[in-house]
């Protein structure tokens, strides 16, 4: 995957950081994505989250990533607090026709990269998360996130 990312990281979004000394770094890699939405400090997806932000998506971006390569979006996140990432892929294959929404709790001073892995043979999209340690990518378990319950 690292060889496919040819553009410089985009810096279009920065969630509110509670304590600048307690952060982690997240890079979300958009490759032909129909949309990526971030829900900071939440283990669920809610349109009521005041920091909810769609950071990529649309036909123009899909065409641009097809021509130029994947686009990474890098920002700081609060460590030890959940973050939900919602990603979709622009296809109607059996398992890629809906958004995939997952969350994890980043560790202090860690660096992560999230992306969709597409398996055309199995017609399956899976969100992957790696912790980046030097040149090594270590898979990190993520949990499925649901819509937040209404209050």
Query: Which of 130, 126, 30 minimizes the C-alpha distance to 73?
Result: 30
Residue 55: its pLDDT value, please? Answer: 80
Answer for the pair 23, 17: CB distance below 8 angstroms, yes or no.
yes
Q: How many CA atoms lie within 13 A of 12 on its CB side?
A: 14
Tens-level pLDDT at each residue, the chain (151 residues): 444 443 444 456 788 899 999 999 999 887 655 678 899 999 999 988 888 888 876 666 666 666 666 778 899 999 999 999 998 766 555 456 667 899 999 999 999 999 888 777 777 778 899 999 999 999 999 999 998 886 5
What are the φ and ψ backbone dihedral angles of 105, each rounded to 5 degrees? -115, 110
Residue 92: its pLDDT value, please? Answer: 54
What is the model's pTM? 0.81
Strand partners, 32: none
Strand partners, 86: 37, 101
């Amino acid at each position: 995957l690292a060889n496919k990312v040819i553009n410089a990281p985009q810096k279009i979004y920065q969630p509110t950081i509670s304590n600048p000394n307690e952060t982690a770094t997240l890079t979300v890699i958009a490759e032909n994505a129909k949309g990526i939405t971030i829900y900071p400090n939440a283990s669920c997806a809610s349109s009521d989250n005041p920091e909810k932000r769609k950071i990529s998506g649309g036909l123009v971006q899909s065409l641009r990533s097809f021509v130029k390569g994947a686009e990474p979006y890098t920002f700081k996140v609060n460590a030890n607090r959940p973050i939900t990432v919602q990603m979709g892929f622009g296809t109607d294959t059996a398992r890629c026709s809906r958004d995939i929404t997952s969350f994890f709790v980043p560790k202090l001073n860690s660096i992560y990269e999230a992306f969709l892995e597409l398996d055309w043979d199995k017609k399956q999209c899976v969100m992957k998360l790696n912790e980046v340690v030097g040149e090594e990518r270590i898979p990190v378990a993520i949990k499925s996130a649901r819509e937040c319950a209404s209050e």
